[in-house]
Every structure is written in structure tokens, then in C-alpha cells.
A and B are shown apart, each in its own frame.
Chain A
Amino acid sequence: MGALLAIAAVIVLMIIGVPVVYSFAAMTFILSIVYSVDVSSLMTTGFWSVNSIILLALPLFVMTGYLMQAGGLASRLVSFVEALVGRSKSGMGSTMILACGVFGAISGTASAAVASIGTIMIDPMEKHGYTRHYTSALLGISSLLGILIPPSITMILYAVVTRQSVAACFLATIGPGILLIIVLCLLNMYKMRNNPIQAEKLEFNERMRNIGSSGWKAIPALMLPVIILGGIYGGVFTPTEAAAVAVVYSIPVGLFIYKELDYKKLFKCLIAAATTTGVIMVILVFSFVSSRILTLERVPQELTDILTDTFQSKILILLLVNIFLILLGMIMDDVSVVAIVSPLLVPVMEHIGVSPVQFAAIVGTSVVIGCNSPPMAPILFMTCRVGKVGMSKVMKPAMFFMFFGALPVMLVTTYWSPLAMFLPEAFGFA
């Protein structure tokens, strides 16, 4: 009961505009009163939880995202992907989706893709017969590939909060991420099947030359996923070390190869990255203390007992969890969802035989919907700003992509475990 009261309070506080960090502090405060525990002595939990080498991957991947955004990497990627797939009726849309996917293999967030790929592509796409609101909606969903294709801030958070392996959680969302790419490309092809505007056909030789030259320019950028993923899974370093190498690599690439980064921009990038990180970390301090109180009071176990006693069917429980995740995603940002939901629900999942690693993928796919579903739709708000269109117009195409794209991917991830578990199992994590 106390736990429900505290979560309800967080929701009310968030609705009236109390920043997430103070809403979580209030949750901690309420829990400490309900269960009569001393928060000042529990602060040590908040401290040790963020004082973690594993979590250190998060600020470093945030830094990489900003550095690559400022370093002129996105435009090289877009040109390369466009040269590969951009010549059909629906080619520009596919280019955007794939570019977000490739960008996702470099950046750990969705917002980096919105800012860089959106800025580059929305205008040209309008010239190719795509309405701005359609493009913005497509960008809103595609940009979330940033958290499904590793590295991923959300997955690092999940792994730290639930004490799973970061490397395993990274692998779990790749399958769903690739499925989302395929589904979005098909939906885009269907929507754009009558697009009258098509890029002029190129001679084979010229096309190859195009791919070659844009590919050559994209190599320094494309090396980054090779370094990060190859490094982690090839046995050179841990996810945290990979993140540090990514930062150290991005700086000279931006400064000396692409020459779009300068020292002033570098300074600004690091400040912006620290701000983004700081916002997440203070939230985490309180959410860790809260979830420690809940664990000490055995709330997750009680929840597990109640859920499994009331609903005997695994499918029914999973369905409830799906609905719960979507509803929570509507009113909360991804950080809050991961921080609140995962410690409560992982015991439930383990009880009904769903691996915490698969649950990572389920949460990941739910965040794709959550970040685009109002009222709390940070990514959709951002794409509206970048696309210079109103919310009301974007809603319809956004709903289309969520209902026929993101939702089916979430359901397949939930009910067909190999999609999420194939890679982690193949790499020996499960």
C-alpha cells in the first residue's frame, strides 16, 4: 500500500510540473515515513549506486553522442545510406530509418538522432514528396533505434538498476531493433507507394562511384561501432572502457578528419553532456534509495505473490505488464520508467520464467512507444520542434507508426523470446 501511495504521489507531482528529480525525492521521503526508515542513513545507497564503474559507461556514451553530433558525422552517414538505398519512391524514408539505425550504433540516446538526422533530412524529404508532419512522426519512432541498437543509455540504466550484465542487455535489443527497422521500412513503402516524385535513375557505374565516395567519407564514423561493439564482444574491453575509447576516438575525428569540431564546440559538447548526465544521475540517487526501501520491506516479493496468485497465466501477466508499461510510458520519461518499473517487475518476470535479459528488451521496446506518446512525449516534442510542425498534425502519422510499427515489435519481443534472447544466448550470457 505504501508503495502504491508513493508511486501515485510521484505521478501527481509530475503532472503538476514538479521536475522528475524532486518527484523522486518526494517518493523517497514518503516511503521513509510509511515504512519509518531513516533516509539520511540510506543516502549511502544512493551514493554507492551511482559511484559505479559500470554506470560510468552512461556519461561517456552521452559525451560520444554530443561529440559525433557536433563533429559532422551524421551528414556523412546520411549521404552514405542515401547512396545505398535512397533511389526508390520510398527511398528517402528508408534512408532516414536506416541512418537512424546506423547512428544508433554510435549514439546511446534517441535525441542525438532527432537533432542531427532530423536537421539534415526533413527539408530534402519535403522536396521529395514527404509532408513535414509525416517525416517528423517517422523520425520520432526511428530515432528510438538509438536505444535499441547498442550502445544504449537506457539499457545501461536497466542493467545497473537490475544488476544484469550491460553486454547482455545490449545484445537483447538488437533483434527487436532490426525488426523495427524492417517493419518501419515496410510501413513507409506502403505509405509512399503512390509518391510521384522519384530520384532520377543513375547509371550503374555512377551509382557505384557514389556509394564508394560517400562510403569512404563515412569510414571514420563507421569505425566507431566497430570499435565499440567489436571491442566489447571481441574481448578487448568492458562496456565502460569501450565508452571511454569512443570519446577519445571521437575528439580527433571531429577536430582533424571531419574538421567540424573546434575547441569551443568541444567545450560546449562536454558541458551539454554533463548536464544531460547530471539530470539522470540525481534522479537515480533517489530512485535507488526508494527501491532499496521497497526491497528491505519486501514489496517486490509481495507484488510477485499477488500477481502470480491472482493471474495464474503467464500470458495474462505479460499482457498486464505490457499495458502497464505503455500507460506508464505515456506519463513518464524512459529514465523514470526504468528506475521505477524494473526493480519491481524483474522478480515477477523471474517467477514466471521470463529472463531479466529478455525483460530488458521488453522495456526497451516499450520506451519506443513511451517517448512518442503524449502527454509525456519528449522525443515527439523534439521532432516537432526540429520539423517545425504542430503536435496536432504529427499525432495521426505518429499513431500510425506506433500502432502498426512499435506496438507489434513490443508484442513479438514479449511473446517470442528468441527475438531478444538469440544473441545473448549465442554469446553465452544466458
Chain B
Amino acid sequence: MNFLLSIIAILDTIIGIALKPVIVIASLFIAFTLTIGIVCRSILHVPVFGLEELILLSVMWLYMLGAVLASRERTHLSADFFQTFCKNQTIVKWVHLLANLISLAMAILFITWAYALASWGFEKGQVTPVFGIPMYFSQGALFVASILLSFYLVRDLLNDIKEIRELN
């Protein structure tokens, strides 16, 4: 168990190092490209077609990688009122484990759904209207996110099991 957790910790560090610069660059790219679009249209009077395709492609990755970071930091929206109201720590831990199991099951379903979406885009060769960017470039963001979300749920699950063991 500890061995597994330490492997996960290493992977987690790598993911953190890889994701953050991508997110920062994507954020700045989106804000500045949109602004450049306005300047071109209103001041220079040369509207640029297709900018929104590049922006939407980046923002899809921004959304999904942002969600991965939230999993990494365990900051996904959740209500912890069961933990607040139940004073029995053993029950709390077991319920927490159950919640994590359900989450993991859902995340794995998400992998299959996201895979179906991306592979469809790949098969049909759908592209954006102006630059002809394949749609699976952005649909793939959901697939990548679903895998990383599941990865972090596995980490949380292992931590839960470890804590329950330590309780006994």
C-alpha cells in the first residue's frame, strides 16, 4: 500500500509540473487573443475569422486540466455535512470510503463516455469551419481529464483504506 502511494506521489508531482504551465499559458492566450480580436474588429476594422476556434480549443483544455488540479488538491465542490453531524469517527471513515468508491465508479464511467466521444470525432474526421482543426483535439481533453480524475480518486481511496486500517 505504501509502495503504491509513493508511486502515486511521484506521478502526482510530474502531473503538477506538467499541467500548471499549460494552464497559465492557455489562460493568458485566451484573454489576450480575445482582446486582440476586439482591437482588430473595432479599431483596425479587420475582423479575424477563426480566432474563436483557437480560443475554444484552449479553453476546453483549461477547463478539464483545471478540474484535474481540483482533484489533485481535493477541492471539488462537495458537502461535508455528514462528517459535521456524525461524531462516530469509524462511521465517518467508512462513509467517506463509500463516497470515494461511488466517485471512482462514476469517474470510470466517465472514461468510457469520453473515450466514445473522442473516438467518434477521430473516426468521422470532424473539423472546425475556418482552420479545419480536428474536433478530437478538443474532445480529447475530456478523455485525458477523465483518466486523471480517476487516478486521483484511486489515490484518495487508498488513503481512506490506509486510515481505516490505522483506526483498527
Query: Taking beta carbons and an 8 Å cutoff, which residues of A are in contact with B?
Result: 13-22, 25-26, 29, 39-41, 43-44, 46-47, 50-53, 56, 59-60, 63, 236-237, 240-241, 244-245, 247-248, 267, 270-271, 273-279, 281-283, 285, 331, 333, 335-336, 374-376, 378
Contacts and interface: CB of A to CB of B under 8 A. Distances in A.
A19 B82 contact: no
Interface in B65-87: 65-70, 73, 75-85
A13 B55 CA distance: 35
A354 B56 CA distance: 34
6 contacts: A16-B99, A44-B120, A46-B142, A244-B38, A274-B62, A279-B77
Given A22-B107, A53-B56, A248-B32, A331 B79 contact: yes
B103 interface: yes
B157 interface: no
Given A278-B70, A279-B70, A21 B31 contact: no
B70 A56 contact: no
A281 B66 contact: yes
B55 A17 contact: no
B106 interface: yes
Given A47-B142, A281-B64, 15 more contacts: A13-B99, A18-B78, A20-B76, A22-B103, A41-B120, A47-B117, A53-B55, A59-B59, A237-B38, A241-B34, A245-B35, A274-B26, A274-B62, A275-B66, A331-B79
A18 B103 contact: yes
A51 B106 contact: no
Nearest to A250: B31
Contacts, number: 179
A166 to B, nearest CB: 15
Contact of B81 (A40, A51, A245, A375): A375
A288 B122 CA distance: 23
B77 A17 contact: no
Contacts of B24: 267, 270-271
A25 B116 contact: no
A282 B145 contact: yes
Given A21-B76, A43-B117, A274 B65 contact: yes
Nearest to A53: B52
A244 B35 contact: yes
B79 A281 contact: no
A50 B102 contact: no
Nearest to A279: B70
B138 A19 contact: no
Interface of B: 20, 23-24, 26-28, 30-32, 34-35, 37-38, 42, 52, 55-56, 59-60, 62-70, 73, 75-85, 95-96, 98-99, 102-103, 106-107, 109-110, 112-117, 120, 138-139, 142, 145, 149
Given A15-B81, A29-B109, A279 B76 contact: yes
B103 A278 contact: no
B142 A285 contact: yes
Given A51-B56, A331-B79, A13 B116 contact: no
B58 to A, nearest CB: 10
Given A43-B117, A50-B60, A51-B56, A274 B66 contact: yes
Nearest to A332: B79
A278 B67 contact: yes
B25 to A, nearest CB: 9
Contact of A244 (B31, B73, B113, B138): B31
User: Which of A17, A271, A277 has its CB near the most chain B CB atoms (within 10 A)?
Assistant: A17
- A-B pairs, top 7 by smallest CB distance, nearest first, are A278-B66, A40-B116, A278-B67, A244-B34, A274-B66, A375-B81, A281-B63
Contacts of A50: 60, 63
A375 B83 CA distance: 11
Contact of B62 (A15, A25, A47, A59): A59
User: Which of B63, B67, B82, B142 has its CB near the most chain A CB atoms (within 10 A)?
Assistant: B63
Given A43-B142, A376-B79, A276 B66 contact: yes
A182 B42 CA distance: 39
Nearest to B138: A51
A25 B106 contact: yes
B106 A26 contact: yes
Nearest to B24: A270
Contacts of B145: 282
Nearest to B21: A267
A378 B75 CA distance: 12
Given A16-B98, A278-B70, A270 B106 contact: no
A337 B120 CA distance: 32
A278 B64 contact: yes
A41 B79 CA distance: 30
Given A43-B113, A276-B66, A18 B99 contact: yes
A18 B69 CA distance: 18
Contacts of B114: 43
B79 A15 contact: yes
A52 B60 CA distance: 9
A22 B76 CA distance: 10
A161 to B, nearest CB: 16
Given A16-B99, A43-B142, A248-B35, A56 B65 contact: no
A335 B77 contact: yes
B13 to A, nearest CB: 15
